Amino acid sequence: MFLLVLAYLGGVLTLLSPCILPVLPFVFARSDRPFLRSGLPLLIGMALMFAVVASLAAVGSQWVAQANQIGRWIALVVMAMFALALLWPAFADRLLSPLQRLGVRLSASADEGRAGVGTSLLIGVATGLLWAPCAGPILGLILTGAALQGANVGTSGLLLAYALGAATSLALVLWIGGRVFAVLKRHLGAGEWIRRGLGVAALLAVVAIAMGWDTGVLTRLSTVSTARLEQGLLDALPGQAPAAGGSMMMMMAADDSAMPALPVEGTLPSLAGATGWLNSPPLDAQALRGKVVLVDFWTYSCINCLRAMPHVREWAERYRDHGLVVIGVHAPEFAFERDVRNVQRAVEDLKVSYPVAIDNDFAIWRGFNNRYWPAHYFIDAQGHIRAHHFGEGNYAQSEQIIRQLLREAGNSLPGDAAPAMTTQTAREGVEREADMNNLKSPETYLGRARAENFASPGGLYAGRAADYRVPTTLKLNHWALDGRWTVGEEDAQLQQAGGRIAFRFHARDLHLVLAPQDTGKPVRFKVRIDGQVPGASAGGDISADGSGQVDGNRLYQLIRQDGTVQERTFEIEFLDPGVRAYAFTFG
């Protein structure tokens, strides 16, 4: 229920985002007609079509993506007919094709009060095919869950709730617009000019959507961002957190011997869905009976997982001889993380010695009903889930839970809890704790499925090679491409040497998930910060002059600011073609 409310409120907030602008002309065009026969069917058709298309698209099948593109072009034709009918109904009726004349007659019949429901529903369905809402935190959470778990009643319900929230906002716009237009028509006799103005606006909206401006230029023109409002809703509603990197705190007593009894949240699901195991033969619930188990969901390019990793390693080592078994469940976020060889290298580099289940099919993930990276589940010696924690932080409380469950099982403990990794200086590289006081930039994806704040003129050209350029200035947390790139679902692929990525950020650390397109063929690069070599602000994967190379599929630490943290402009230039860029993360 909380998720449905959250999705609905997220949809309501889309009225404040620029992504709603392309559909407003089609909504306003019916504001002078009866709401129940015209406005309501339009909004219902729009909400239902968006929910259906988004549910299918979340699965990620190529044929769905192609079908959706065909549907968008058909919808553009319908909308163009509608706009032309508003501009020149008599001219269009005589000269346009039979299909277009049908559209004109439908629109005319709606003007006269006949067939308004069917016409409005048709326009609403077409609008639903064209509408591409900005993927803020709430929609991002829904789409991530849908992509991982597949289209089902739950995810489709959340998408429908989101669309109905947007429809509610548009209904308010429709109600206000109808009264404004009625006043204008009554006092100014401007009905004909209003109709033609709406026709021009609708036609411009069709052109904007066809050219991709609805997801490019309009986003950059926005002066209102709903991201913080949506994040506030996520934080306010219990049981919710971002899919990666959020922190859901569990307040526990500092003295583990005085902690209250932990509730039973469920039983340990089957681990049989793992597609492979590292550091161990396959484990199951029966083999783990009598042991306290910590299940850690992670993926090796996730910065939040990497920062939590030292604590997990420390617990595994500290309590291994006292009855604790740590199991890392590697659930991939990007395609290259499905390659077990890449995971094996990451496990070795990160010095992970405990068992790791390869969960490429997300079978264990679904068994836990999990949605987050990282996520920790604490299981007692009887196989009951007794506590959980999502995101970074609260390491002392998590260790107290481990100690309490070990004590319940009758195991001895190695003295007082004293985590070895408690200070910023205890760890270096990507595993160092984030500087939360100066962290003002969010995780940002470069693939078109979740891309936000893209600033190159003309917007993203999805799925095909195109030339991009970096604008003269970038707003905070906006990014841009330069050179010839192909932007796919989850990454941006460089086609020619000399391509660049720029990002305006505010954080101590900047990381970028990168991969060479051809295994074994490194891609050289140069990093600049505010146009200068990074010097003392160089991250662990580059030298002081900003040089480095992409030699594997992983997260690269490129900037660690030395001294005062402030807003800076980051640029990376690739000296060779064939790099794939996935996501920026910050710390």
What is the percent of the chain with per-residue pLDDT over 70, rounded to a whole number? 61
Helix, strand and coil in the chain, % to nearest 5: 45, 20, 35
What is the structure's pLDDT at 258?
A: 55
pLDDT, tens only, 430-466: 888 889 889 999 999 999 988 999 999 999 998 899 9
Closest listed residue to residue 576, CA positions, set 551, 546, 558: 551
What is the structure's pLDDT at 322?
A: 94
- Cβ atoms within 10 Å, residue 205: 24
What is the structure's pLDDT at 115?
A: 44
Burial of 321 (0-12, 13-18, 19+ CB in 10 A): exposed
Q: What whole-number distance in Å separates Cα of residue 71 and Cα of residue 58?
A: 16
What is the structure's pLDDT at 5?
A: 77
Q: What whole-number distance in Å separates Cα of residue 82 and Cα of residue 127?
A: 12
Low pLDDT (below 50) residues in the chain? 58-68, 91-93, 95-97, 99-104, 106-107, 109-115, 135, 137, 148, 214-227, 237-255, 417-426
Residues paired with residue 241 on neighbouring β-strands, in sequence order: none
What is the structure's pLDDT at 500?
A: 97
Residues paired with residue 298 on neighbouring β-strands, in sequence order: 330
